Structure 1
């Protein structure tokens, strides 16, 4: 980050002599305070002789008094200091960002130097850019995370398209409203002697012999009511024999579609959605997936779920209760099961996964209940730990809000939640006492009824030990 700007686009007062005629030196100093967070008085040798700050946590700048200005900044910023202190016509007309060194970190500050007409000491006015730098870092991390997620999405889409296009039997996807074909694989194009890609956008009924179009419409209506409807026998245009058409519904982006398998008698066509192709997709998908019975015992799990819970193999998980891994035992899974029985699906349920080695991983769970001979529950589990680690933590993130604390119900014990609540109240009271006493720690300890040693211990525990304060 390198911020530089000149005053070439500024519009001055029309009559500054009249406007500033009544201003005292104190008024001029107040104006300077409004212009920046730091004000450095610098002599002819480039040595900082005095400092004024307008925010309490900028007190570390007092350590610069008596040092050469160029010695307080990083090596790459020293040339900018020389330019700011130069005698050229553009030296004082430019804001330049320099990085000061403090506690092993760089403190970015944007400076402009004011040189009096009569000579003498110069005044450097600085604006703290740390908040801007933090926002830029958060933006960069978020952008990188989004780019990784986008790449992951593109890779998943590519795998899906390859799988769909290389299925040996004819299959197509049509929307439920008008039966317009959205996608068709190569086997489907070959079946009706169509050029690759030419079926997309055409109507499904246009592929069927006119005598059988009513049969297709009746079959679709029957499948809408009962998914176990026997496949329909129809004739396609340009083909002598009949084919069997089996349809199954799915929803995407709020719209309903039909996945239609066409059995021409030449290929092995699965009769159910849980065929080996779908199972292969589930097995290789990057998100964890698990299928349970009504008692939440695991029936099917993919390799991603086995890796998530640190299991040696998928077979090791079969028959184990999902409550062993999700949230607190019998709490999160119980809530999910109740929601599924009421609404049949759940989206983005926040929880944690407890692995076999005692570790925890924050996750989002989407689930669905399927009612066959007995209810089956399918859970898609996505880890969000990387997303949370990618985003830099805010310095003041520790004081959680009441809403954040209540979100811990079901994930932590009441004792742990009460302890976090106590820490939150304790920190807020200490911060309020420091503000009330203008950061005088001796006075803050007195009004809190603590010894200085006890206050210092609590400041360190709550991450407030670096605050610049006064002991008397």
Structure 2
């Protein structure tokens, strides 16, 4: 369906021949120049034969300095078809309409609104233009103001979202009361845990329903004090379910209404009793090092044994340092540990080393576990020093059997076995032991074992077949 718009209503001169009779050329030129910011006279070919500019800003941008140039050559590319249409309409005697044209300038495009009309039988066209830079500046300013308002609105929404998140996730019971009526307007989930009542059933109820009858007077006095002053002392109250809490309140105003922010703190927490204090004390005194990291393996906290092992002065000094600065052989161990944690969620008795900040190195065993959390998953590492464990007693190898790992036992073979055989068998045994150790270290992950040994996978598989190690059928 085509929508037809009504033509604009115009009121032309009723008697132009009589009203404008005797008007001189100079007067006509003055009227045309005064009625527009830019006035152009074009010939039938669209060449600018004369021009008048009444705006300093346009003159500084070179607008109007187009005498003997085609008008279409003075505009930007996307405006050329508009010029052609305007000149065609003027030549055909059709009613013209205002068109917005852009002219290139040093400071960017200059927008001008033009109107073209035929000026005689010889094909001349008079073009009147109005500067749109002021309107464009106002539109730009309006757009900037609108964007600023939208940014402010977004910041308010984000602030409200943070407030809601803090309010809902706070471990302390928090309520918002209407100051005059003492009715509950909002309550976080901790209120339901402490009082034993459903959160939805509390809204609109009086605050006194949460309290034992004997504590209602003390609570009312505290709320009255908070309403009339900025500071009030906390009081111990007994809840309706029999538990005791520390009650504190403060007043704030929002949307011209007074509200009370009320907090209920269980007496055990108010007195500084930490339910995890025993576990914290054990970790502080245990001889094994313990460290907690984020998923990027940056240290969040560590016990004193870890600080002693790494020669760090304080827990704050260790915070946010990368764990691979102290634990594991570079580029090897932590990759294996991290892969094991991500795949299985736990790691047990992983043999590696710990380096202190001064470069000292000790052998350790690492046990680790993943602590999943929706907001901040963490890794826990238990590090046990095994450097002082007694080494197992060496077992003598029989003559003619596998070459022993002990240098002393190898020397006893000199004179009995050719040196090239000793070297060959020692090399084979060392290769076999290294491959077995690498497979044990990587939990039989052959790709990781090849990386640890510095071999290609093809070379590792060849040596596995040579020494009869592993199940190569898979």
TM-score (norm 2): 0.49
Q: Looking at CA atoms only, which structure, 1 or 2, has the larger radius of gyration?
A: 2
